[in-house]
Structure 1
């Protein structure tokens, strides 16, 4: 087994220790900070002697001293390795005499920005009641089907398909499956050159924000709305204008003149989950034509309807080519797969493809091929039916629990999706509620993060896709106890 000399190992410029002890200090610090791989040999005495400019005997003496101290183990004909016992020790806390990057100030100072980061704890899945956005139940994922698709995609016959660079194109198989199994169900017909594969809807929105930013015209978006879209357009340097929503979705009459793009989530408004009415969709399309702007339709959770049939997509109603359709497989397959797509006029897709190539060339082709097989072999359709059935059961259980325990709060009318939006009376602080609940093992999304100006703290969002049915009411009961305490 070969070793690669870690270039970050450097002797201190000044030290009162002997060379042997300096080497011991540097190597032991690297071990305790987990900077050295435990399954690879350390550099040989000759390699490290050359890097440090010392004799091989000095390095040999240092290594053997570290063996005596249980930092290293020596294996015949293999070299020196980190002692497995080191994995059981905690990293040193507090100040250290060893200089690290954390102690060096950054040479660049960044001005404050208005981007909204993901603020949930990294160990969110260890909480008993994680009612948070964009998490799916891993127990519902068809692992066996995914494994079979991966095995087929990795075969030697298919390797040439995904092993080469394909910056100017996407997987023809995946594009075909999207046309036949996703877009068709939404009433959308698109040619191959009118579809672009992206790394999820977030990447799609950033690409669109980038190619339209040069116009200098503002983007109108729902307020409250999807903070991912807000971040994407802000990163592109675009001026943002918030447009209020009501029980029928975005209010077209509130869209100011001069906008080039209007971003909306008509199937289930993000985050309030209201569904845009047919009349409102027609009104918005008519206004797009008369005022000369484009509509970005993020068809969020269009498949998840439990009370009424899915409403037609706006792109299926569009006769002028003004709707740009954004879709994602995050909620129906998995967020970790990071695949989405844009369907739009071919001239828009042409510009978006160029921008995507500059950003990251193209999404991993191997993942595209696996997902294409996932569709082609019927796993997607079976999986979609399964999660629709499971989420419908959870939606009704959640609806009942909210009516029973949180009737003191206002709740927007919803026909489906995987979350609920609740609002307290004047003076209610959902930020305080979030802190209280986290201490009791309950995670929620606070509503003010979805507002353009962060100026409304009365609302919060409860996502239930990850929480089992058996725990839904208990979690809601805890929320109700803390809400009553605040009220």
Structure 2
């Protein structure tokens, strides 16, 4: 196959004849390594048409390059980069020139500088990865997933998989969510009230875009999921931070004028607090007084291996005030980036239109593969397998924490995948995280979860979702030693 003709163009500021310019253009492509030895060049007819020059000009340029051993010809097959062409020298590409755009003026909205921290990409190489939100590949049924993907690629589903859903979703996936996933949370919903998203964060972003303006007020938990705070800050709405207690968000602290309430009642992020039923009812009552909407992020509910989780807040809603957000990122794998949003039809209609304008819909192949994985029972088997493994790891971690004298600030009532920890006052866990990283221990400092500027630095989160049980005690011991050393040295 010949090199794409679209990759060839003449420099409008170049000097010399057209023939010389074409020779220089091709020679530079060979010398830069863009055209390797043996690469076929576009035909003289195609290149002349593309460049808008005569065919004889291109032919003469090719012939001259052949004479200089840059090109070779193979009968009627065409011209190729010669096997004797000069080797590309090891030099830096020619600079494109100094950037003349004043980006401080040109950029109208800023999305950098938020609370969301950089997560380590090499966590698999660390011996003690107490990192939250990553999956253990040993627990996942790769063969079942592969078979589901192959089935989705089969002839039967070809038209559905290859087609454009426009603003719709895979009907099989929607049906399974409506009939099997949501009833487990006490939620009944019609297909018109369900939208597939690119994970929970995408759903939260869409909710903020639809519900909030610069004149409206959003209430969030403090501490809270840092990416949510970034999303709401970028929306430029009025933002109220509500300190949580052991039962989650206190409804009585929601101020008058609140329009949208973001909450994680089943498994608070990051403290893991579970909101009791009576407080959930009080939250719905307060939302009614405020005429506010609640966005419920029901993350990690699948990891309920100690006892069944409480019904979702959405299941108690009788006025359509709750927008429910779920995700497959924690239960399947985070790289899947697939979730769902449930709400009243007018809201979902707007969310569907917004999604269509931004990305049309999540890939059809992924949706159909997940639909098969769920409907064939692989999902439920995975949840049971993960629950069993997580329960063992939780027990090992809990014992190791007790033996080393570390302090748990929050542990999930129903299970979960992490502990919310507190070091002695003054200990800087941001600093200790770097020191632990050098020893192969990965933890998540708690500072980004709190609003600034006086965030506490002594909180941290340790997860057991991606570390084998056998390595947990030694890793916990290293954390305890580092905290003890920091206290003794006064490096706080």
TM-score norm. by structure 1 comes to 0.85
Q: Which has the larger radius of gyration?
A: 2
User: What SS is found at the alignment partner of 2:240?
Assistant: strand
Residue 52 of structure 2 is aligned to residue 56 of structure 1: no
Q: CA deviation at 1:340?
A: 0.6
Q: Return closer, same or farther for 1:100/1:126 CA change in 2, 3 Å cut-off.
A: farther
Deviation at 1:81, TM superposition (A): 9.5
How far off its partner does 1:177 sit?
A: 0.4
Please say if residues 408 and 421 of structure 2, whose CA atoms lie closer than 8 Å, have aligned partners that are also in contact: yes
The count of residues paired between Structure 1 and Structure 2 equals 462
SS at 1:140's partner residue? coil
Deviation string for 1:41-92 (max 9, x for gaps)? 3645958898799822454477749x9xxxxxxxx98944999xx99x9x97
How far apart in 1 are the matches of 2:274 and 2:425? Answer: 25
1:128/1:422 CA distance change after superposition, 3 Å: same
- How far 1:224 moved relative to its partner? 0.8
Relative distance call for 1:315 and 1:344 in structure 2 (3 A) is: same
Q: Which runs of 5+ in 2 are unaligned?
A: 488-492
**Could you list the per-position Cα deviations for residues 290-332 of structure 1 after superposition, in whole angstroms to 9, with x for gaps in the alignment?**
2211111111111212433311111111122111110000011
Distance in 1 of aligned mates of 2:188 and 2:375: 19
TM-aligned CA distance change 1:328 to 1:39, over 3 Å: farther
Q: Are the aligned partners of 2:259 and 2:290 in contact in 1 as well (CA < 8 Å)?
A: no
Residue of structure 2 equivalent to 1:460: 460
* SS at 2:470 equivalent: helix
**Cα distance change, pair 63–225 in 1 and its aligned pair in 2 (3 A):** farther
Corresponding residue for 2:480?
480
**For residues 100 and 478 of structure 2, what CA distance do their matches in structure 1 show?**
44
Kindly indicate whether residue 412 of structure 2 is the aligned counterpart of residue 414 of structure 1: yes
Q: CA deviation at 1:219?
A: 1.0
Residue pair 2:198, 2:339 contacting (<8 A) in 1 also? yes
Q: Which residue of 1 aligns with 2:220?
A: 221
Are 2:242 and 2:249, in contact at CA under 8 Å, matched by a contact in 1? yes
Give SS of 1:472's match. helix
Q: Retained in 2: the 8 A contact 1:145–1:374?
A: yes
- Helix, strand or coil at the partner of 1:247: coil
**Residue correspondence of structure 1 range 364-375 to structure 2 within 5 A:** 364-375=363-374
Identify which range, 474-483 or 54-63, moves more after superposition: 54-63
Q: How does 1:74-93 map to 2 (within 5 A)?
A: 79-80=80-81
Quick one: distance in 2 between partners of 1:362 and 1:226?
A: 25
Whole-angstrom CA distance in 1 between matches of 2:12 and 2:436: 48
In the TM superposition, 1:171-250 aligns within 5 A as 171-214=170-213, 216-250=215-249
User: Could you say which residue in structure 1 is the equivalent of 2:311?
Assistant: 312
Name the structure 2 match of 1:72: none
Aligned residue among 75, 94, 99 for 1:98: 94
Q: 1:41 aligns with which of 39, 60, 84?
A: 39
Q: Is residue 213–residue 235 contact of structure 2 (8 Å, CA) maintained in 1?
A: no
Mapped partners of 1:40, 1:186: distance in 2: 61
What's the secondary structure of 1:250's corresponding residue?
Answer: coil
Query: Which residue number in structure 2 is paired with residue 70 of structure 1?
Result: none
Q: Measured at CA, do residues 37 and 387 of structure 1 come closer, stay the same or move farther in structure 2, by a change above 3 Å?
A: farther
Query: CA, structure 1 residues 171+401, in 2 after alignment: closer, same or farther (shift >3 Å)?
Result: same
The structure-2 alpha-carbon separation of the partners of 1:476 and 1:156, relative to structure 1 and needing over 3 Å to count, comes to same
Name stretches of at least 5 consecutive residues in structure 1 with no aligned partner.
68-75
Q: Secondary structure at the match of 2:131?
A: coil
- Residue 136 of structure 1: how far off its partner (Å): 0.5
Q: Secondary structure at the match of 1:197?
A: strand
Question: Alpha carbons of 1:45 and 1:217: their partners in 2 closer, same or farther (altered >3 Å)?
Answer: same
How far did 1:25 drift?
5.8
Distance 1:43 1:273 in 2: 61
Match of 1:289? 288
- Alignment match, 1:71: none
From the superposition, tell whether residues 222 and 154 of structure 1 become closer, same or farther in structure 2 (CA, over 3 Å). same
Q: Is the alpha carbon distance of 1:217 and 1:37 closer, same or farther for their aligned partners in structure 2, counting shifts above 3 Å?
A: farther
State how far apart, in whole Å, the 2-side matches of 1:347 and 1:81 are.
Answer: 64
- Give the aligned partner of residue 431 of structure 1: 430
Q: C-alpha distance in 2, partners of 1:81/1:473? A: 62
Other-structure match for 2:254: 255
Partner of 1:108: 103
Displacement of 1:39 after TM fit? 11
The alpha carbon displacement at 1:167 in A equals: 2.2
2:387 alignment partner, SS class: helix
Gap change, CA 1:213 and 1:58, over 3 Å in 2? farther
Q: Decide whether the 8 Å contact of 2:167 with 2:356 is kept in 1.
A: yes
